[in-house]
Amino acid sequence: MSKPLILVSNDDGITSKGIRFLVELMKELGDVVVVAPDGPQSGMGHAITIGNTLRLEASDIFGDIKSFECSGTPADCVKIAKHFVLKDIRPDLVVSGINHGSNTSISVLYSGTMSAAIEGAMEGFPAIGFSLCDYSSDADFSHVGEYVKQIARNVLEKGLTKGVALNVNFPPKRNESIKGIKICRQANASWQEDFDQRFDPHGRRYFWMAGNFVNHDKGEDNDEWAIANNYVSVVPCQYDLTAHHAIIHLNEEWDF
């Protein structure tokens, strides 16, 4: 192909407004193939389907763009794209999103959006996960288009360190324009969960999980600070979860 080949996926499902917006932007940069979940997969993290069958159906939702909807998770979508849809053709870029909602800080661990991107990085492809900090199904993406293309174009032209995926978060539409892009670290924040216990008409107990997001980080170099101050945050992520700084402690302090 004369143009870059761009694989698009997400976790909100193939019918979401965010993926439609992303596909239109990527069409300006290359040839696009879409493999996305057939329904919402938010919060699935890096889950893969191993106990059930996977179904893959062609879709005409994006017109002449080659598109498929998959019954599995976002990570499944990238795997089946590599092994079945694209076969021996390597994508030049994997993009995921644009997610309806924030994936800053600790949320990256739960994010299906970022898991699709990280799966791409695991396969050796340059990859980006895009998220807008607005959970509305009809969120306004109009202010982020040029930033999406700028970041994607940089990755296509300059590449990424092998095994790295970019976690890109955009502030919601505000009265003031976005100030720019910040390369950040992941903020030290957490979810403080709460469970609402209820009972169905048969007296059987069930729960709804809720909670509050708490930012413990006072720095000005992290993604939470960037979003709060109306910047685009870009955090390079890796799938190696080894706590390298703890290896010395364990070797020195533990007695085997």
d(CA 179, CA 177) in angstroms, rounded, equals 6
What is the spatial distance between Cα 80 and Cα 84, in angstroms, rounded to a whole number?
Answer: 5
| Token couple for 154 | 């940089």
Strand partners, 236: 166
Strand residue runs (E) in 200-253: 205-215, 232-238
Which residues, including other chains, have CB under 8 Å from residue 41's CB and lie 6 or more apart?
A: 11, 12, 13, 73, 74, 112
Q: How many CB atoms lie within 10 A of CB 243?
A: 8
User: What is the model's pLDDT at position 236?
Assistant: 98
Kindly report the number of other CB atoms within 10 A of residue 250's CB atom: 10
**Residues 58, 133 contacting (CB under 8 angstroms):** no
**CATH 1.10.357.10 at 5-186+219-253, yes or no:** no
Is the omega angle on the peptide bond into residue 98 within 30 degrees of 0, that is, cis? yes
pLDDT in the model for residue 1 = 52
Place of tokens 């010395």: 248
Neighbours of 180 (CB within 10 A): 10
pLDDT value at residue 110: 93
* HSE-CB for 6 with a 13 A CA cutoff: 24
End-to-end CA distance of the chain: 56
What are the sequence ranges of the domains in the chain?
5-186+219-253
One digit per residue, pLDDT tens: the chain, 256 residues?
579 999 999 999 999 999 999 999 999 999 999 999 999 998 889 999 999 999 999 999 999 999 999 999 999 999 999 999 999 899 999 999 999 999 999 999 999 999 999 999 999 999 999 999 999 999 999 999 999 999 999 999 999 999 999 999 999 999 899 999 999 999 998 888 889 999 999 999 999 988 888 888 899 999 999 999 999 999 999 999 999 999 999 999 998 8
**Whole-angstrom Cα distance, residue 49 to residue 75?**
9
